[in-house]
Every structure is written in structure tokens, then in C-alpha cells.
């Protein structure tokens, strides 16, 4: 990974920061993206001490499509090539919140913002080929299916329903993206890092720490959770791998390396419906 340019969203803590740490140690030039200026600079300073790869930091709040567009513009201005783009930012909201754009926040941050950012950077990725897109998914999607009449969950909001549907959307988007980049030298894959102790539940206004403490015996550390992301971003073994879903439990042998997402996620008509609806929501032609 020496001198390769890697952009990681949601990289000021948790899986994102540990993924950045692993790639910096391999010599990659890592750009971390966060929404809090102090946290982003502190994380960048910490990672710079890891070396040998350099570390930059950029700011964007993915609950705003305007800020997501601004982030894409900054990246295109500052970096002539992108070798790896890792979409890792995400939220888990106990109560329904609406973004400045009027969208349900979990769906907006976890799916719409990455959809917009990746599409805005896609030409640069193609020009940088071989390049990789890695999207952080979750097995939380396994029992989910999308209701296109109520994507914003105005009728029946539930925090788990919102999160699981957003993760299903991540996976369906990645599969549709993989078809679009096939043969271009760009690959798009999705990873399930495992059940990881992270800051995903921050910002809810209610204490989630005791809940996570109770589950500690069953969860992975961020360092362990980042292993799959690092592997999919950097392993020469995965050159050309495209449109696949990788899980932490499936990286031991090459024969079993790919994990299966739920059966709804493989429906190409639903993938295309999600793609078209997402384009309308974020204002892409």
C-alpha cells in the first residue's frame, strides 16, 4: 500500500480509525473524514505517529447533502488520484430524526450520503484504476427488506428497522455499483466487520454505554473489527474481486471467503429501483 491514496469516512474513532491505522502502517497515504474538527485533528495526529504513511483529515457531516457535495469537491481538488475509497461513516438513532434535507437521518447518513459521495468521485476512481471501493455493511441487514413507499419510515419507525434497512441499502447499492464498474479496473465490495464495540450509538441523547458494557463479552474490539476492512482494501489476493460481501468469519480460507447477504439483496430489479430512487433523493441525474 506504499504511497497509495486511501480515503476513509467515519475514521475519527472505532473501526474507521483502526482501519486507517492498519493502512498507515502499510505506508498508505490516508485521508480520514470526520464531522468534528477537534476529533478529526486529534485522530490525524495520533495516526501520523504510526507512520510511515502520511495522514490528512477532511471535514463533512453526512447528515447534510450539501456538505457531502463539498467533501467531494475538496477531494477532487486536492487529490489527482484515489486508489481506495472506504465508506465507513454511519449512525444508529434510537429516535426518529430528520436531516436538514428532510430525510430520516439513519437512511440519509448510512446510505444516501455514501451513494452521493461515491457517485461524485466515480470518474476519478475510474481514472485511477486499478482502484477499490469498500463499503461497510452489516449482518444486521439479514432480516430486513425495503419498503419503497416508506423509505423514510414516517409510518412505522423503529431504531433497529431503520438501521437494518440502511445496511441492506448499502449492500444493494454496492452490488448495483459493481455492475456499473465491471471491467473498468474499479471494484466495489461490501464488508461485515462483525459485532464491534464502536461509537455508532453516540449522539442519541440517552446512555447507550451500559448496554454496550453488558454485551462486551460478545463483541469484537475495533481493532479486530477492522481486520476485514484492511484485508479487502489492501490484499493482492483480492485483485479483481468485485460485487462480493465479505464477513469477518469468512476470511480464513479462499474457498469460503465470501459471505452471503440476504436473498432480497440479490434482486437486481430492487437494486435498480433503489439506485433510481436514491438518485432522485440526492439530486443526481
Please say whether the beta carbons of 59 and 40 come within 8 A: yes
Neighbours of 73 (CB within 10 A): 11
163 in catalytic set: yes
Alpha-helical runs (H) found in the chain? 14-25, 37-48, 65-78, 105-107, 113-127, 159-181, 209-215, 222-234, 268-282
Q: Which three cell numbers stand for residue 184?
A: 473498468
The helix/strand/coil state of 68 is helix
Spatial separation of the C-alpha atoms in residues 259 and 138, rounded to whole Å: 11
Direct distance between the N- and C-terminal alpha carbons of the chain, in angstroms, rounded to an integer: 35
Question: Smallest Cα–Cα separation from 24: which of 45, 1, 58, 57?
Answer: 1
Residue listed under C-alpha cell 482494501: 233
Q: What is the largest CA-CA distance in the chain?
A: 51
Burial class (CB in 10 A: 0-12, 13-18, 19+), 252: exposed
Q: Which three cell numbers stand for residue 221?
A: 474490539
Q: Indicate which residue of 92, 103, 115, 163 is catalytic.
A: 163
Q: Which residues are catalytic?
A: 163
Amino acid at each position: 500500500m506504499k504511497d497509495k491514496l486511501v480515503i476513509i469516512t467515519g475514521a475519527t474513532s472505532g473501526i474507521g480509525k483502526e482501519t486507517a491505522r492498519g493502512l498507515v502502517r502499510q505506508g498508505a497515504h490516508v485521508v480520514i473524514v470526520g464531522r468534528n474538527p477537534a476529533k478529526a485533528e486529534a485522530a490525524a495526529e495520533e495516526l501520523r505517529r504510526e507512520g510511515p504513511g502520511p495522514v490528512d483529515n477532511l471535514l463533512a457531516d453526512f447528515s447534510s447533502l450539501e456538505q457531502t457535495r463539498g467533501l467531494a469537491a475538496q477531494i477532487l481538488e486536492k487529490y489527482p488520484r484515489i486508489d481506495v475509497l472506504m465508506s465507513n461513516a454511519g449512525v444508529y438513532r434510537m429516535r426518529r430524526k430528520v436531516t436538514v434535507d428532510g430525510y430520516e437521518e439513519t437512511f440519509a447518513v448510512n446510505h444516501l450520503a455514501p451513494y452521493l459521495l461515491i457517485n461524485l468521485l466515480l470518474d476519478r476512481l475510474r481514472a485511477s484504476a486499478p482502484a477499490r471501493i469498500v463499503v461497510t455493511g452489516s449482518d444486521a441487514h439479514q432480516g430486513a427488506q425495503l419498503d419503497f413507499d416508506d423509505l423514510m419510515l414516517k409510518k412505522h419507525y423503529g431504531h433497529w428497522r431503520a438501521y437494518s434497512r440502511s445496511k441492506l441499502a448499502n449492500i444493494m447499492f454496492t452490488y448495483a455499483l459493481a455492475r456499473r464498474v465491471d471491467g473498468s479496473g474499479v471494484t466495489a465490495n461490501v464488508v461485515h466487520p462483525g459485532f464491534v464495540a464502536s461509537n455508532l450509538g453516540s449522539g442519541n441523547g440517552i446512555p447507550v454505554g451500559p448496554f454496550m458494557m453488558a454485551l462486551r463479552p460478545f463483541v469484537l474490539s475495533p481493532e479486530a473489527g477492522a481486520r476485514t476492512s484492511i484485508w479487502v482494501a489492501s490484499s493482492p489476493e483480492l485483485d479483481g474481486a468485485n460485487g462480493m460481501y465479505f464477513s469477518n468469519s469468512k476470511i480464513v480460507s479462499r474457498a469460503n471467503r465470501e459471505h452471503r447477504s440476504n436473498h432480497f439483496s440479490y434482486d437486481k430489479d430492487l437494486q435498480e429501483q433503489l439506485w433510481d430512487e436514491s438518485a432522485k433523493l440526492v439530486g443526481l441525474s
